[in-house]
Structure 1
Amino acid sequence: MPAFPHRFAFVPQSRPSWPGRIRFCIVCALALLGVLIPAVHAADLPSVALHYGKDAPLAAMKAFDIAVVEPDHGFDPLAYRGQGGSELFAYVSVGEVHPTRSYAARIPDAWRIGRNATWHSLVIDQAQPAWPAFFADEVVGPLWARGYRGFFLDTLDSYHLVKDVDVAAQQRGLVAVVRMLRKRYPGIRLIFNRGFELLPELRGEVHAVAAESLYRGWDAKRKRYVEVPANDREWLLGQLQTARDRYGVIAIAIDYVAPAARELARDTARRIHAHGIVPYVTDGDLKHLGVGLVEVLPRKLMFLYNSREAARVNVSSPHRYAEMPVNHLGYVAEYVDVTGPLPESVPAGEYAGAVLWFDGYVPGERARALMDWMVARIAEGTRLAVFGSFGFEPDADFLRAAGLAQAPPAKGRLDIALRDPAVGFETPAIPDRGRLQRLRVEQPDARVLLSLNDSAGNRYDAVAQTAWGGFALHPFAVRVLPLDDAQTRWVIEPFAFIRDALALPALPVPDTTTLTGRRMFFAHIDGDGFASRAEMKGRRLAAEVLLEDVLKRYRVPHAMSVIEIETSERGPFARDSAEMEAVARRMFALPHVEIASHSYTHPFYWDSVERGEAKEAAQGYSLAPAGYTPSLEREIAGSVDYIRSRLAPPGKPVGLMLWTGDAAPTEAALEWVERLGMVQMNGGYTVASTLYPSLAAVSSLGTWQGRHFHVHAPIMNENVYTNLWTGPYYGFERVTQTLAFTETPRRLKPVNLYFHTYSASKPASLAVLHKVYRHALAQPVHPVYPSEYVRIAMNFNDVVLARTLDGGRYLVRNATHLRTLRLPRGLGLPDIGASSGIGGWRDGAEGIYAHLTGETATLVLGDRADATPVLAEANARLESASVEQGVQRYRLNGQVPLEFALSGASQCRVTADGRALGPVRSEAGLTHFRLDAHAATIELRCRVG
């Protein structure tokens, strides 16, 4: 049985006695007269969060200075601790012990003096002489060894549950416990949950004191949220203020509201903070992320899908269509299969809403469960965006909850009666009687975007924004073109529809396309065709042509891979193995080429590999040797060992796995890559061009497989542009159209050139490689290694955004690799002087690209740009930015000769590593510079006035 932290249920305080009330008034008066000087000023207060769930969102909790957790859930405080300064504190119960705690059985019976019936725990006699040492050694000691340095001490007044207890002796025992902890563990920080009466004796030894239910509480017996009576609030407020003003500790108030009541939580937190007290407002079980001095901005959306319509997430409609717009808006999709258990709630502190996409009805009793789930979410205020179908035939209860009505069967012709300009985005809205869903919106404040009428005048609403979210029913979400089932078009504009349905606020978007103001560029090469002979004079290996004509010419970051069985002496091309391996060694020795594996035998179906099945590709080819039983270990770890031992230069790692075939790795395959300390990529299907001009042809950032994230290649390879390498072999030139489509009007992807070794085997395909390289590198790009991009894409999922309670600042945490925020139009312009960790910004088509200098930042926005010159863009990573005595410094580190541009710097003297640097051109308010070095410290000395 798991151990749960004890918390007092909300119990109204008895009315204080007159002497007590008089003492409170005297304290207030002295404070007003300035006799008591607060030891902690409101501006210096730390932000605090508490979460006792086993799935505590640790990444999000880094937005707080202190995060209190239940340590028995196995969290690692050392791994948690980072640049942001956030610290995990361990919850420990002093006055009570639950029988499930590991140390409970070692507590002598004589120490057990009572029971807490509400929480089924034992009350411990604090007056026992051996108890302080036991508590220090058995309770705190193991947690200290794990890395905890802060502790939240609960149940300090549980002795009051025992009749006729010697109160003074219990309090002396508690003081002895604290003194023992401070003696055994120098530097320990302690937060009391109440224990006000101990503070006079422990002056200067307690970091903070907390109390529950200042304005709003949780009645554990009746399972309801309550407002605290004024007299009880007055008494508790006096205790907290006295603790702060007289004893110099930080005062914390923990209040409780329903998880979905976010505005009430914010208002409660503001009221607490107005007293100079640290607020934290959360749910009654402390298992939801609450509101404190900062509020984490939820970046997750729950995606509901039906696995009977798509056995794998990566082929489901929500993944294929809705996830990319969601990513671009700054949100992460978390999938739930409706054929299994549905979550009890959608916590408002972690999720901005839910997206549901069904092509038909959910089977059997699951339809009823889904309907009830949606009714409950509507009731609690969770925003829902529904695509395709609701997943069931709505009954009267659902229709009532959703503000809908059932319309009669259609008669005669269907015509469009009302169409918003947002409908008909990429293809016209065409009524289809066979797919008509007979619903009519009844909510007076709803906004219908598409309505149909039949010949009898009956109305059918197919696309609408409602009070609870919105829906776009088939066939008005996406439409598959009748002549080509590989092509799909959006009927609605997905970005606006999702944003409006879920009421998503404008927020700084962690951006995976841009670095230091420029669109990222990288190239990666699958090893297929290494053994091919080039159809050119000399019949060289295609790999050698690739080396000499491409890799040596374009000295920008690449990833190069090989298929072991193709290049090794044990493969079908053993006769040429020595020649191929020699070429591979020369490739891998190039400083701008990172080493990747493309597996052992190039499996087409990775789920088959996991099952140990040899399954050929649909085209019938296979490189697997006769009798080979596929295994993930051999395909991944084995191929890496081969490259390390035979091809890689000493000390150069094999850090990247490029998936083969359908590029749909299983969770177990992804686990293997992580175990080897590598990252991985490939898959997706971004091919939008003039032949397929649709957002439906732009893939999401990646696919979740369990707890692992599989990163998609941003742009697809030449195979799909050449009809599976059947011609035309110059077809890869259309990738320039894909690059343009994913740049304008929205920058959706970085510049990525992705191809195979065999592209160097034919004159037409080789000529096109040069064409697309010249095209890509003629743009203002920021070259990165493919593995850098993969880490940025993975980091997108756990970057934390928060906002201060007063709304004045955005906080960024956990940006370990991702270093760009895209600020939508209207959000404001960065105030560099008031911000920290922001090194500059660049205006773009969709808004501002702000550059982060580290994994944490504080962003302050204003209506006008600061007059101070700033770094607008660079083709190198911005490692630091500072201003000292009027001198601005930027440290740039890149992969190619440096290029950068400054805004507002026309009156500045610019140096690079101490040498004067003149501009190469000035345009549109930017001054551009260039130097041969790949890294430099840039300094600006500007004239004032």
Structure 2
Amino acid sequence: MSKFFPLLLWVLGSLLSVSVHALPAVALHYGAAPLADLKVFDIVVVEPDHGHDPLLYQRSGSQLYAYVSVAEVQPSRRYYPDIPTTWKLARNGDWQSEVLDQTPADWPEFFANRVVAPLWERGYRGFFLDTLDSYRLAAQFDEAAQQAGLVRVIETLHRRFPGIRLILNRGFEIVPRVRDKIEMVAAESLFRGWNAGQKRYEEVPAASREWLLGQLQTIRQQHGIPVLVIDYVPPHNRSLARATASQIEALGFIPWVGDSQLHTIGVGNIEFQPRRVLVLYNGGETVALNYTNAHRYLQMPLNHMGYLVEYADTRQPLPQGIYRDRYAGVVTWFSGFLPATKGKELSRWLLARAGEGMPLALIDDFGFLPDRSWTEQLGLQVGDLGMQGTLQTIRQHPMMGFEIAPPMPGREYEPVRITNKWSAQATPLLELQDQRGQRAVAGAIMPWGGFVLDPFVLVTLPGTDQQRWVIDPFTFLTQALRLPPMPVPDVTTENGRRLLMAHIDGDGFPSRAEMAGSPFSSEVLLKDVLEKYRIPHTMSVIEGEIAAHGLYPQYSTQLEDIARRMFRLPHVEMASHSYSHPFLWNQEAKHGTFLDETQKDYHLELPGYTFNLEREIVGSVNYIQQRLAPTGKKVQIMLWTGDTAPSSEALAIADRAGLLNMNGGDTFISRNQPSLTAVRSHGIQKDGYVQVFAPITNENIYTNLWQGPFYGFERAIETFEMTGHPRRIKAVDIYYHTYSASKRAGLQALHKVYRWAQAQPLHPVFASEYIRKVLDFYTYALARDGQGWRVRGSGELRTLRLPASWGMPALAQSQQVAGYREGAEGTYLHLTGDSARFQTLEKTGTAPPPRPFLYEANARIKKWQVNANATHTEFSLQGHVPLEFSVAHSSHCQVRTGQRVLAPVRTTTAVRADVQMFELTATHADFQIVCPTR
């Protein structure tokens, strides 16, 4: 191991690996899909022609290695036309490639210049060298000369590209001659392989396996070089992939078990945890995705459980390549039948997924009339069951009646019967019986997933637009999709405390307040709110309202001055609320919306203006930056206006401009509407762009669109409380418009809400910080790592919510974890950076001696360093308000800042008995926890 040891340290150290494995986690992925999921691995081998950016990717802590074929070339490669005919030894018919002679004197330089150099210039520093043994496909060859040619290629690469890192695929005979120049040796098909000629997966014959095993053990034992073994199994057979990887790892090799094309995420010495759920919907049922039932009601529970939602409109071709490597399940939500051809397509598609073992959750309506193949495979009888008279409920599962009792089905209701095939394995959710004693069900958990049908999903309260859940969506989705317990990336919390933010839409900036002297409402807001409550605020303006070329040129000088004074405040960040305040961002959806068709162009009537997305977004930001921003401060956020449903084009424009975006969602649960149907998701993804929703809605909802009562915003406190317990689903977001300061009742409501927030143990952040957490949620990667977990994000999202059943985190067996705090739903784990590795006491089985840890804080951890025996901890906190933090297991220790020993404060807050709380007037500081040596 001596010659490889420095390289191994580099892999484990500079790649920021948090694994307890002695060897790096390696993945191979030759597909064109985004690589965000794979960043949890240390090394990812990719097909470089897909255009990946290795320099951008390495910021995640992972490294891309480029696949390059040494002894074969396919006609699609750019350098193929320049290869002399005399260099071609043979043809590989299985892969439609030419086998190249390794003996020509010019070949090593050609390979370095034409193949590797362009990739090196793009930022690749690691290379996976394939097809080293392909010369054996030729009818005649000089083996010694071919191997000498391969050695010259490797030596040339090291001479031309100092620091290059190489993984050889086979080439066993040349390993002794280049072992100081390679990082790893790979081999394919130790237990299971892919027969390219016959296009099938096969088990490797025992004799072939024993020969290959001998070669690999020699390389590892005699040459001290790690070995990567690549086996192949069908992409839907996750259990076989897992078992094969375990066989390989038991032999001391790095495993990677993937599909024949390496287009899916396989199983290695860590296993990626899929977080995606594919939701199928009929786009013809609504004017936009934002208004579909699936998005409005289903995405929030999935987000809260840690899952991402991808949508597929059944009007388009149904997606392919939906496997358990990246998808946790498939959900459908239809309100009626699809067109006949689409219904048949959907039926076949769902049967194929079920046959591959993908869990299905079917909600509201199947979307088609199931045929015989459907009923036989899924064990459901649908249609005319011969039931007569009124149906009565005879048995109800506990997950039914979540917010309202199941209704009585009407005459038009068509029940479902579970056939004998699955009756013993099914769990009925609601059993119905007719007057003759015939039975049926309205939903069930099935071996293939589960279903629940209308009207037993949601009920609309008579005479209102309010809904109630009949079924518990959390429990149903968990059981139907077989969702395993996992760490949940949590955007509501940091260091144990719920987040607090405040953001203001600029509407009404020029309006006059109903107060003495009729000041501008913006002036009242500045003096009575922004200068009083020194928590992070995000303030926006509408250019068309305050600019000299806008609606009120006579007041522009005064209005711009107010905006400049707001933006100079250190606790205020700048945002745009557009140029003309569009009421409708997706112009293709004008018809069929709630908007009045007479509204001209759906924006403020600015003279001579024609709606333009670039002008609304980029132009308004430029105006603020050039006219209103103090030196050194930049506009970071676009706050959507009107229907807050931007098209993917609008999201793309904001993204290209480097802007974050937020608004929409309208979470407004209250005692008047005490239902989780009024709580929205983290955001919505459109064509790869994420619209981040405001955690809580603004005062418009509470004041009946500002018609009164004008004190109504004080009811936001109800929303804060109901989204904090029993589930902490949302951050506290004080969100309103400038015109709230135009009426005394509105202003008093603001003061009441701010005072409530000040009295809570919260963690203040800017809206930009919250938005980045949500974006991090969308690309966060989790993987099972032995008895623990490995996670990687961008470093913005720093909290994982662990299931309560796992017990407490095992801090001594974890890295980049500062501490934890118990919560109603589980344990909030505090991370110190963009990656972590951790275990829990449930897995370790033993309780280590207690050590000091961070219990909670209202600021971000900038440093956390613990010595070997946990007697000395150095850490730094940086926040936006005076620091408050608590340390557990520290009663026998000193907590210091500089040379000063801190005294814990007395508190009535219900915390653990072993927790000490500290307060400072500073907003950032360095600390030490010094404990006596045990």
TM-score range, shorter chain: over 0.9
Distance of 2:622 and 2:426 partners within structure 1 = 60
Letter of the structure 1 residue corresponding to residue 765 of structure 2: V
Report the TM-score when normalising by structure 2: 0.94
CA separation in 2, counterparts of 1:173 and 1:693? 74
Q: Is 2:468 aligned against 1:480?
A: no
The code of the aligned residue for 2:364 comes to G
Deviations 1:793-836 (Å, cap 9, x if unpaired)? 111011111112x3x12111124210000011112311112211
Q: Cα offset for 1:654?
A: 0.8
User: Aligned-pair distance for 1:372?
Assistant: 0.4
Deviations 1:425-446 (A, max 9, x none): 1111012235523311231211
Match of 1:584 among 555, 558, 563: 563
Pick closer, same or farther for the CA change 1:580–1:702 going to 2, 3 Å.
same
Deviation at 1:624, TM superposition (A): 2.4
Amino acid at match of 2:927: I
Matches within 5 A, 1:542-553: 542-553=521-532
Instruction: Determine the C-alpha separation between the residues in 1 that align with 2:402 and 2:357.
Output: 29
Deviations 1:256-286 (A, max 9, x none): 1112222221111111111111111111111
Query: Is 1:890–2:878 an aligned residue pair?
Result: no
Alignment partner of 1:664 is 2:645:
yes
What SS does the aligned partner of 1:829 have? Answer: coil
Matched to 2:878, the amino acid is: N
Taking the aligned partners of 2:406 and 2:38, their CA distance within structure 1 comes to 45
1:48 aligns with 2:29: no
Structure 1 unaligned spans of 5+: 1-30
* Aligned residue in 2 for 1:23: none
Find out whether 1:743 has 2:721 as its counterpart: no
Q: 3-state DSSP class of the match of 2:193? A: strand
| C-alpha contact (below 8 Å) 1:464/1:472 kept by paired residues | yes
Percent identical among aligned pairs is: 50
Aligned match of 1:81: 58
Distance (whole Å) between structure 2 residues aligned to residue 434 and residue 532 of structure 1: 55
Map of 1:934 onto structure 2? 923
Give the Cα separation in 2 of the matches to 1:744 and 1:541: 38
Q: What is the Cα deviation at residue 618 of structure 1? A: 6.4
Name the SS of the counterpart of 2:115 in structure 1: helix
Structure 2 match to 1:829: 808
Please tell me whether the aligned partners of residues 531 and 567 of structure 1 are also in contact (alpha carbons under 8 angstroms). Answer: yes
Which residue does 2:672 correspond to in 1? Answer: 691
**Cα–Cα, structure 1 residues 83 and 519, in superposed 2: closer, same or farther, change >3 Å?**
same
Task: Show the 5 A alignment for 1:635-784.
Answer: 635-784=616-765
| 3-state SS of 1:939 partner | strand
User: 1:123 touches 1:158 (CA, 8 Å); kept in 2?
Assistant: yes
**Secondary structure of the corresponding residue to residue 199 of structure 1:** helix
Q: 2:152 aligns with which of 176, 179, 183?
A: 176
**SS, match of residue 738 in structure 1:** helix
Gaps of 5+ in 2: 10-19
What secondary structure sits across from 1:44 in the alignment? coil
Q: CA deviation at 1:37?
A: 13
Return the letter of the residue paired with 1:421. Answer: P
Out of 862, 865, 876, the residue aligned to residue 879 of structure 1 is: 862
Are 1:609 and 1:631, in contact at CA under 8 Å, matched by a contact in 2?
no
Q: Does 1:861 align with 2:844?
A: no
Match of residue 126, structure 2, among 142, 150, 157:
150
Q: For residues 146 and 326 of structure 1, do their structure 2 counterparts lie closer, same or farther at Cα, with a shift above 3 Å needed?
A: same
- Identify the residue that residue 174 of structure 2 maps to in structure 1: 198
Deviations 1:484-510 (A, max 9, x none): 1x2111000111110111111111100
Give yes or no for contact 2:460–2:468 (8 Å, CA) kept in 1. Answer: yes
Q: Is the 8 A contact 1:39 1:249 kept in 2?
A: no
1:780-929 to 2 correspondences below 5 Å: 780-804=761-785, 806=786, 808-863=787-842, 864=847, 867-884=850-867, 886-921=871-906, 923-925=911-913, 926-929=915-918
CA contact (8 A) 1:920 1:929 kept: yes
Deviation at residue 611 of structure 1 after TM alignment: 10
Aligned residue number for residue 135 of structure 1: 111
* Pairing 1:100–2:76 present: yes
Deviation at 1:358, TM superposition (A): 0.8
Deviation at 1:343, TM superposition (A): 2.0
Shift in CA distance, 676/852, structure 1 to aligned 2, threshold 3 Å: same
Q: How many Å apart are 1:561 and its aligned residue?
A: 0.7
- Contact 1:38–1:248 (CA under 8 A) maintained in structure 2: no
Residue 440 (structure 1) aligned with residue 417 (structure 2): yes
Compared with structure 1, are the counterparts of its residues 409 and 731 closer, same or farther at alpha carbon in structure 2 (3 Å cutoff)?
A: farther
Give the 3-state SS of the residue equivalent to 1:140 in structure 2.
helix
Q: Distance in 1 between matches of 2:364 and 2:588?
A: 34
Give 1:605's aligned amino acid: L
Distance 2:731 2:658 in 1: 25
CA contact (8 A) 1:835 1:858 kept: yes
**In the aligned structure 1, how far is the partner of 2:447 from the partner of 2:268?**
28
SS at match of 1:90: strand
How much does 1:345 deviate? 3.4
Give the distance between the partners of 2:404 and 2:311, measured in 1 at CA: 28
How far apart, in 2, do the equivalents of 1:865 and 1:765 lie?
54
Q: Is the 8 A contact 1:832 1:866 kept in 2?
A: no
Change (3 A) 1:944 1:176: closer
Structure 1 residue corresponding to 2:377, chosen from 401, 408, 411:
401
Deviation at 1:733, TM superposition (A): 1.1
**Offset of residue 706 of structure 1:** 0.7
What SS is found at the alignment partner of 2:778? coil
Match in the other structure for 1:449: 429
Larger CA deviation: 689-698 vs 573-582: 573-582
* Equivalent residues in 2 for 1:253-652, closer than 5 Å: 253-406=229-382, 408-434=385-411, 436-442=413-419, 443=422, 444-484=424-464, 486-608=465-587, 620=599, 622-652=603-633
Relative to structure 1, the CA distance from residue 307 to residue 127 in structure 2 (aligned partners, 3 Å threshold; closer, same or farther) is same
Residues of 2 paired with 1:706 and 1:189: CA distance? 36
User: What letter is aligned with 1:275?
Assistant: L
In the alignment, the residues of structure 1 paired with residue 770 and residue 170 of structure 2 have an alpha-carbon distance, to the nearest angstrom, of 49
Aligned partners of 1:435 and 1:475 also within 8 Å: no
1:308 CA drift (Å): 1.0
Q: Quick check: 1:192–1:209 contact (8 Å CA) kept in 2?
A: yes
Distance change >3 Å, CA 450–CA 666, structure 1 → 2: same
Q: Distance in 2 between matches of 1:112 and 1:595?
A: 63
Match of 1:10 in 2: none
Letter in 2 for 1:61: L
Change over 3 Å in CA distance of 1:609–1:228 after alignment to 2: closer
- How far apart are residue 627 of structure 1 and its match? 3.2
Aligned counterparts of 2:848 and 2:475: Cα–Cα separation in 1 = 28
What is the CA-CA distance between 1:583 and the residue it aligns to? 0.8
Give the secondary-structure state (helix, strand or coil) at the position aligned to 2:435.
coil
SS of residue in 1 equivalent to 2:615: helix
Amino acid at match of 2:160: R
Give the drift of 1:943. Answer: 3.7
For the residue of structure 2 that corresponds to 1:770, the secondary structure is: helix
Q: CA deviation at 1:650?
A: 1.4
- Is residue 211 of structure 2 the alignment partner of residue 235 of structure 1? yes
- Give, as a single letter, the amino acid of the residue that structure 2 aligns with 1:761: S
